[in-house]
Amino acid sequence: MLIRALCLSGLLALSACSTVQRIPGVPGGNREDETARLETILDARIVGNDILVVRVASNGCTQKGDFAVTVRRRGGEHDVTIERTREDYCRALLPNGVEIPWGFEELGVRPGSQVRVVNPVAG
């Protein structure tokens, strides 16, 4: 229940130790990319202590490569921003969206640090 409340407010206690970072292999992996747009997320949670799982809307073809993730260190916290770089034009009915996992290692984040998901959360 506590984690759900944190997710709804956009805050998650996680681990991290990085500066602004482009995620390798992801187009538009930094904030300055004008083609990316901030994704409204449905939910976010931590699995174990080293995987960030974000639920996003999908029409059936959404995959991890459709997103750019930026991690910025701010004081003792790390802000995670998720931007969609490719639209999903499929026509499947997925009312609960899909879950996309990012390992802390991918994000340049160490277990135990504070991470805040900056994206808006669908109400």
* Residue 20 resides in a domain: yes
* Residue 122 resides in a domain: no
Instruction: Give the tens place of pLDDT for each residue, 14-24.
Output: 333 333 333 44
Total tally of structural domains belonging to the chain: 1
DSSP secondary structure string, 6-23? Answer: HHHTTEE-------SEEP
Host domain of residue 113: 2-117
pTM, rounded to two decimals:
0.69
Residue 56 to residues 42, 82, 101, 110, Cα–Cα distance (Å):
5, 10, 11, 24
Helix (H) or strand (E) holding 107: helix 104-107
* Residue 39 resides in a domain: yes
pLDDT by position in tens, the chain (length 123): 434 333 333 433 333 333 333 344 344 444 444 334 789 999 998 888 888 999 999 999 999 999 999 999 888 788 999 999 999 999 998 999 999 999 988 999 888 788 889 999 997
* Residue 10 resides in a domain: yes
